Amino acid sequence: MAGIYIHIPFCRHKCHYCNFFSLASQKQKVPFLEALKKEIALRRNYLGEEQVNTVYFGGGTPSVYRPGELQEVLASVISPSHAGVNTSPPASPGTKSTSPPAPSPGGEGSVLPEYTLELNPDDVTEEYVEELRDTWFNRFSLGVQSFDDDDLAFLNRSHSAEQAILAVKRLQKAGFENISIDLIYGIPGAEKIRWLRNLETAFSLGVPHISAYALTVEPKTPLEWMISRQKSAPVSDESQVEQFKILMEKSRENGFQQYEISNFSKPGMHAIHNTNYWNGIPYLGLGPSAHSYNGASRRWNISNLSKYIENLDKGVLLYEEEVLTNIQKYNEYVMTSLRTMWGCNLEKILDEVRSAEYEVISKRAACFVQQGLLTEHAGVYFLTDEGKLFADAVASELFL
Ligand code: SF4
């Protein structure tokens, strides 16, 4: 199995906390699509014979394009004649239907491809949703971040709380059930009660998937500037821990599984795309700044839209590449697998990589078990709720 990620590098304007590669100017929207098509053709063999089970349009804001334009790109990446990628479109592609083509159940044995589109809530008009019904997208990830207008203003989001709720309802009304919403917690000024209200709204909407992230202060963002100039209160670790604990508790009460530290879903509704990343499954990343992984090396495209377009015009793709050592692969596996509900099979991975270290590492893991940060079952280690608060520190102690 393999995945394809497509990075759309445009946003209507920049959110205060964001350090993703995206541009507020949309002057290059048309040339970018042309360049993207060239990259798709150039990289037709990157995944070899792997079967593609997920395509994810992220960004940036993919919904700056009309659904028809995105569908054209989707069709070109999954059509063997265009991209040489081995996969199959969902049943009756392109036919208007109130039922999306694939409910993307996830889980082992799933054969239905997952086609995800990230949407900004203010783009989800009735007309836009109507056009989505003519595409193959069967999963939607909405950048809600908060259902509180004060939070949204603080974050400089382009939509209101009402637009976020309307967006979910419009998608549901059109028959799209596989909807994920992104939320941010630990926003300065947003105390426990506001976070509880946010979660209540999220659960009341009946979406099967929620991704929730602690607000982080990235370098060179307006948020960092605001905090350093004391125009905003700093992010409080205490509030973030408190809100993360509430998130775990409330999601459990509402029948969600925390299948990864920041990702919660109803049983069987976890995202195939991200789960592939965590399982070390190869993926092809297209677009400026997109990362790819083929099992042996990782590469990342240039984070410069003009250079990306100019060079692809000449048939050249600019990227950097790193061949991964066995130790790097081991460390990445520990870091990502520990964050998931499937846990980290230390015995197996150490056997594969460097079995001589097994005793030292397993002694450290046993120590974390004693401290109540990990549990162990048949050589597989899992973070406890307490351990999830220290996930990075625990993982780094188990690194080679
Ligand atoms: S919409 Fe997303 S990618 Fe664009 S600026 Fe905001 S957070 Fe960043």
Q: Where in the chain is the domain with CATH 3.80.30.20?
A: 2-278
Q: Is pLDDT at 62 greater than 90 in this prediction?
A: yes
Distances (CA, A) of 50 to 45, 67, 324, 393: 10, 27, 20, 34
DSSP structure class, residue 359: H
Q: Is pLDDT at 93 greater than 60 in this prediction?
A: no
| CB within 8 Å of 185: residues ≥ 6 apart | 195, 198, 212, 213, 214, 215, 240, 243, 244, 247
Q: Which atom of ligand 1 is nearest to the CA of 18?
A: 8
Q: Is pLDDT at 256 greater than 70 in this prediction?
A: yes
Q: Which atom of ligand 1 is nearest to the CA of 14?
A: 5
Strand partners, 340: 260
Between the CA of 15 and the centroid of ligand 1 the distance, in Å, is 6
Q: Let me know: does 150 contact 191? Beta carbons within 8 Å.
A: no
Q: Let me know: does 114 contact 104? Beta carbons within 8 Å.
A: yes
The average pLDDT across 357-369 equals 90
Tell me what the pLDDT averaged over the chain comes to.
Answer: 91
Summarised one tens digit per residue, pLDDT across range 20-40 is 999 999 999 999 999 999 999
Query: Are β-strands 114-119 and 139-145 bridged in parallel, bridged antiparallel, or unpaired?
Result: parallel
The average pLDDT across 223-230 equals 96
Q: Ligand 1: does its nearest atom lie under 6 Å from the Cβ of 128?
A: no
What's residue 90's pLDDT? 53
Give the SS3 label for residue 378.
Answer: coil
The average pLDDT across 64-87 equals 78
What's residue 351's pLDDT? 78
Q: Let me know: does 7 contact 290? Beta carbons within 8 Å.
A: yes
CATH of 326-397, one of 3.40.50, 1.10.10, 3.30.70, 1.25.40: 1.10.10
Q: How far apart are CA 104 and CA 114, in angstroms?
A: 6
Q: Let me know: does 260 contact 251? Beta carbons within 8 Å.
A: no
Between the CA of 59 and the centroid of ligand 1 the distance, in Å, is 7
Give the SS3 label for residue 295.
Answer: coil
Distances (CA, A) of 360 to 337, 372, 391, 396: 19, 19, 19, 14
Q: Let me know: does 72 contact 62? Beta carbons within 8 Å.
A: no
Least Cα distance to 138 among 169, 164, 174 occurs for: 174
Q: Ligand 1: does its nearest atom lie under 6 Å from the Cβ of 60?
A: yes
Least Cα distance to 284 among 6, 37, 10, 72 occurs for: 6
Give the SS3 label for residue 271.
Answer: coil
Q: How far apart are CA 264 and CA 269, in angstroms?
A: 9
Q: Atom 2 (ligand 1): residue with closest C-alpha?
A: 60
Between the CA of 80 and the centroid of ligand 1 the distance, in Å, is 32
Summarised one tens digit per residue, pLDDT across range 116-175 is 999 999 999 999 999 999 999 999 999 999 999 999 999 999 999 999 999 999 999 999
What's residue 96's pLDDT? 54
What's residue 51's pLDDT? 92
Q: Ligand 1: does its nearest atom lie under 6 Å from the Cβ of 22?
A: yes
Q: Let me know: does 81 contact 102? Beta carbons within 8 Å.
A: no
Instruction: Using pLDDT thresholds of 50, 70 and 90, give the confidence band for residue 100.
Output: very low
What's residue 218's pLDDT? 96
pTM of structure:
0.92
Q: Is pLDDT at 80 greater than 70 in this prediction?
A: no
Q: Which atom of ligand 1 is nearest to the CA of 13?
A: 5
Using a pLDDT cut of 90, give the percent of the chain over it: 84
Between the CA of 199 and the centroid of ligand 1 the distance, in Å, is 21
Summarised one tens digit per residue, pLDDT across range 169-215 is 999 999 999 999 999 999 998 889 999 999 999 999 999 999 999 99
Type of residue numbered 140: F
Between the CA of 45 and the centroid of ligand 1 the distance, in Å, is 31
CATH of 2-278, one of 3.40.50.460, 3.60.40.10, 3.80.30.20, 3.40.50.720: 3.80.30.20
Q: Is pLDDT at 301 greater than 50 in this prediction?
A: yes
Q: Atom 8 (ligand 1): residue with closest C-alpha?
A: 18
Between the CA of 221 and the centroid of ligand 1 the distance, in Å, is 12
Instruction: Tell me whether the omega of the peptide bond preceding residue 60 falls within 30 degrees of 0, making it cis.
Output: yes
Task: Give the residue with greater pLDDT, 346 vs 384.
Answer: 384
42: left (phi over 0), alpha (psi -120 to 50) or beta: alpha
Work out the number of other CB atoms within 10 angstroms of the CB of residue 68.
11
Q: Where in the chain is the domain with CATH 1.10.10?
A: 326-397
Q: Ligand 1: does its nearest atom lie under 6 Å from the Cβ of 61?
A: yes
Q: Ligand 1: does its nearest atom lie under 6 Å from the Cβ of 58?
A: no
Q: Is pLDDT at 8 greater than 90 in this prediction?
A: yes
| CB within 8 Å of 230: residues ≥ 6 apart | none
Type of residue numbered 180: S
